[in-house]
Amino acid sequence: MDELLQEFISETQETLEALAGEVVAWEADPADRDRLDAIFRFFHTVKGSCGFLNLPRFERLSHAAEDVLAEIRADRRSADPATVSAVLGIMDRIAELAEAVSLGTALPHENDDYLIAALSEKEEDEAVLPEAESAPVAVARQQGNGQAAPRTIRLPLSLIDQLMNGVSDMVLARNELSRKLRERTGDPELESAFERLSTCVADMRDAISKTRMQRVDRLFTAIPRMVRDLGRELGKRIDLLLEGGDVEMDREMVEMVVDPLTHIVRNSIDHGIETPEKRRALGKSEAGRLKLEARQSGNQIVIEISDDGQGIDTGRLVGKAIAAGRLTPESAARMSEAEKLDLIFHPGLSTADQVTAISGRGVGMDVVRANVERIGGVISLDNRPGRGLTIMLRVPLTLTIIPGLIVRAGGLHFAIPRAAVVEILHDNNETLHIAEVGGAKIATIRSIRHSMIDLEDVLGMEKPAQTGPRAVMVVRSATGVPFAMGVSAVDNHEELVIRPASPLVMATGVYAGMTLPDNGKPMLLLDAAGLANAARLPNILDDRAAREAEEAVDVQGVEMVPALRFEEYSGERRLLKLSLIERVEDVDAHLFGRSGGRAYVRLDDRLVPVANGHHSFVGEKVAALRLRDGTRDVCYPVAAVLDIVDMPAVPDMIAMHGTLSGVVVIDGEHLEVVNPFALFAALPDEPIREKGRGRCLLADSEDGWTREILAPLLRQAGHEVVLGLPADAPVDPQDVVLFSGADLSQASELLGCRVVHLRASPRPSSPQDGSIYRYDQDALMAALAGSRG
């Protein structure tokens, strides 16, 4: 009895999956007697089986639905939307009960009487309302050949998985045998036998792989019901067309594609297709068109979801991105239409006006793309504003055995899916140019720039000594923006059997599993999206738009400023805003020096700090840029001054690295932009004191503290120090006299200069005491600066 019950539950669940779409199609075409008979037979079969299986609730529900369908078959009742909704409700309840019996849990105690009563209700005043047929419905048309279903048997999934694991081991054994045969001398008879064996293994692998295959119909079964229910809820009429249901794909792939496909369809109904009133105003038919098509292309399954709605308003999407702080108006002005459209995949961005139970929370399309790419697929959009949107999913046929490339890096071998690699070059290729800009690598391939990483750097490995050229692979990233990846070599390509890796390995985020190639050594399978995230590659379209707009043909609205292009002594070519440069001059190399860990140069009889730290040069003359922020001067020695060019006022923010603010491209050349804010912020807190504009006269010249402590401090601060008061030479009004012993507080008018009294005690003797504690360096320096203000 238990076996019969499980057989009944399995058949009921399978039939219910396919029947929901048939009910919706029958509602659109009530004259279709074949569909009506199929629905009637289902409820009749369920009712008949429940008697000896002791399932009274099944029997009661199916009996009520059967009675109503019998009246419709006898033309005593019409298939109005209310009746169809009631029949679908009965089917949902039977599905819930079947699931409960299958899991061995308690049956849900919902009120079945409510559903049965709904069967007797009809659309009110059908005769009075001639436009009752305008109630929104989904018309599902399935294109097929109408052939009878093939004979099948039911097998447990564990057995099919066991068979697949067995054939995977056979593939590995064949690969190992192939490797051993290549290492030995050729034997034609042995090689011929091996070829026959390989053919048999390949045929067996294909046959067993087909046992895991399911028709795409499985993906489409829930779509008509969902379209019908959402259409009625939103007041929209939708003509649904399903094509390619006979295409087959891996059972695991079907399960992984269900959620992304469901979300896309819901978005098409909610955001894309307009209401009948709005469609009439736009000159469109009242019923929107939604088409799902599946087809096989090589070793991929292509699923297209298209509608004739309003498409995606990219201007509105950009506005929301700017409002959310994801994008600047300047970067938005440089973005192409495709880059604006790609913003739909950014988390938290939605074009919905309000949050509903269906959509509008800004959560979804980013998850859809992540789920599709997690299984090795690609998602693309074809937007036609005002005319509709087409979303294309490309997913692999199976996840168990995939074509892959074997790459070498850091002395180890790794595998990467072949579908993730766009192009492979050697680093000595004439069409490839690699440059390090702003602390990051950029690979330019035929005038197209890509962010570049070296696999060894991402994985924390040392680069071994390389005799030949390195290989550079162009890899698809998680955002759809390719990046370049350098490896030691690409060694081979072959069919790879994919197995899950340990949780500790998978937790790194850069691996998608493990595999055993024909050399018999386990290898890790690289995850392209994980590598891009681990390397922190720019994946915001704001950065990409800025990089790709460097040679933009007279980009409108971008402010340009003049800048000086120069070459550093380290070889980099950089830019500096021309307005910051006071003058460019040749300076004698012997005037440069270093003291206290800082470089300086003597200019105009005073010491000026050197911005980039260079103080030792080979030639006699040094080209120097004199910069000034209004109060302080700084010298910037350079290897060569090149020319003056126009650059964007806001550079492309590729990297913030030391005194660099970003990168711009002038005449096809990547140039780093010097950040003046960081440059002046790195200068000493106290500017180097100028000489020749007043002296420090130390009255207590015989005092040990004055000679050994105070005088060196003042000299180090850049002051000219005189021990004792001059007897004959006149005192300059800019001089300052410092004393601590003898009382010279009344001598200011007599000497004709400022007098500073230093005391030994930390506390003043009285509120009127104007002296300075001799170990208060800040107060002392402020007094000396004030004396020359």
CATH number of the domain to which 750 belongs: 3.40.50
CA torsion, ordered 84, 87, 89, 91, to nearest 10 deg: -130
Mean per-residue pLDDT, 392-401: 76
CATH number of the domain to which 10 belongs: 1.20.120.160
Percent of the chain with pLDDT over 70: 80
CATH number of the domain to which 171 belongs: 1.10.287
Helix axes 365-374, 251-267, angle to 10 degrees: 160
Q: How far is residue 171's CA from residue 202's CA, in Å, rounded to a whole number?
A: 8
Report pLDDT for 400.
Answer: 65
Report pLDDT for 182.
Answer: 75
**530 lies in the same domain as 579:** no
**483 lies in the same domain as 449:** yes
The answer to pTM > 0.75 is no
**74 lies in the same domain as 204:** no
DSSP alpha helices (H): ranges in 288-435? 314-323, 329-334, 337-341, 365-374
Mean per-residue pLDDT, 308-333: 84
**366 lies in the same domain as 350:** yes
**514 lies in the same domain as 439:** yes
Least confident of 66-75, 129-138, 419-428, 597-606: 129-138
Report pLDDT for 454.
Answer: 92
**630 lies in the same domain as 702:** no
Mean per-residue pLDDT, 584-613: 83
134 vs 514: which has the higher pLDDT: 514
Least confident of 556-560, 592-596, 781-785: 556-560
Report pLDDT for 291.
Answer: 92
Q: How far is residue 459's CA from residue 681's CA, in Å, rounded to a whole number?
A: 35
Instruction: Kindly state whether residue 508 falls inside one of the protein's structural domains.
Output: yes
Q: Which two tokens stand for residue 135?
A: 């109630």
pLDDT surpassing 80 at residue 46: no
Instruction: Kindly state whether residue 690 falls inside one of the protein's structural domains.
Output: no
Q: How far is residue 303's CA from residue 296's CA, in Å, rounded to a whole number?
A: 9
Least confident of 156-170, 422-436, 625-639: 156-170
Report pLDDT for 748.
Answer: 56
709 vs 551: which has the higher pLDDT: 709
Instruction: Kindly state whether residue 688 falls inside one of the protein's structural domains.
Output: no
Report pLDDT for 132.
Answer: 36
Contacts of 412 (CB under 8 A, 6+ apart): 461
Cβ proximity of 555 and 633 under 8 Å:
no
Instruction: Kindly state whether residue 132 falls inside one of the protein's structural domains.
Output: no
**428 lies in the same domain as 392:** no
Q: How far is residue 477's CA from residue 273's CA, in Å, rounded to a whole number?
A: 31
**338 lies in the same domain as 227:** yes
**390 lies in the same domain as 279:** yes
Assign 688 a pLDDT band (cuts: 50, 70, 90): very low
pLDDT tens column, 52-105: 667 777 777 888 888 888 888 888 887 777 877 888 788 888 887 777 777 777
Identify the domain boundary among 214, 231, 247.
214
DSSP category for residue 342: G
Instruction: Kindly state whether residue 77 falls inside one of the protein's structural domains.
Output: yes
Instruction: Kindly state whether residue 527 falls inside one of the protein's structural domains.
Output: yes
Residue pointed to by tokens 């937007």: 383
Mean per-residue pLDDT, 448-453: 84
Print the domain residue range for 758. 695-787
Mean pLDDT of the chain: 77
Report pLDDT for 557.
Answer: 52
Identify the domain boundary among 646, 681, 716.
681
What DSSP letter does each residue of 673-699 carry, written as one string? EE-HHHHHHTS-SSPPPPSSS-EEEES
pLDDT surpassing 60 at residue 445: yes
CATH number of the domain to which 487 belongs: 2.40.50.180
pLDDT surpassing 60 at residue 686: no
pLDDT tens column, 142-152: 444 444 455 56
Assign 442 a pLDDT band (cuts: 50, 70, 90): confident
pLDDT surpassing 80 at residue 206: no
Report pLDDT for 787.
Answer: 56
pLDDT tens column, 285-313: 989 999 999 888 766 788 999 999 998 88
Total domains present in the chain: 6
Q: Is the alpha carbon torsion for 362, 368, 374, 376 positive or negative?
A: negative
Instruction: Kindly state whether residue 782 falls inside one of the protein's structural domains.
Output: yes
Q: Which two tokens stand for residue 173?
A: 């054994």
Burial of residue 105, with CB atoms counted within 10 A of its CB: 0-12 exposed, 13-18 middle, 19 or more buried: exposed
pLDDT tens column, 689-698: 444 456 888 8
Report pLDDT for 456.
Answer: 92
Report pLDDT for 472.
Answer: 93
Percent of the chain with pLDDT over 90: 6
CATH number of the domain to which 311 belongs: 3.30.565.10
Instruction: Kindly state whether residue 144 falls inside one of the protein's structural domains.
Output: no
Run of H or E including 73: helix 56-73
Cβ proximity of 115 and 88 under 8 Å:
no
Backbone angles phi, psi at 163, to 5 degrees: -60, -40
Q: How far is residue 252's CA from residue 249's CA, in Å, rounded to a whole number?
A: 8
**259 lies in the same domain as 372:** yes
Q: How far is residue 59's CA from residue 41's CA, in Å, rounded to a whole number?
A: 14
pLDDT surpassing 70 at residue 185: no
**652 lies in the same domain as 673:** yes
pLDDT tens column, 744-767: 655 555 567 788 888 888 888 888
Report pLDDT for 146.
Answer: 45
Mean per-residue pLDDT, 757-785: 84
**631 lies in the same domain as 706:** no
pLDDT surpassing 50 at residue 5: yes
Least confident of 46-50, 454-458, 536-540: 536-540
Report pLDDT for 544.
Answer: 44
Report pLDDT for 129.
Answer: 33
pLDDT surpassing 90 at residue 473: yes
Report pLDDT for 71.
Answer: 83
pLDDT surpassing 60 at residue 131: no
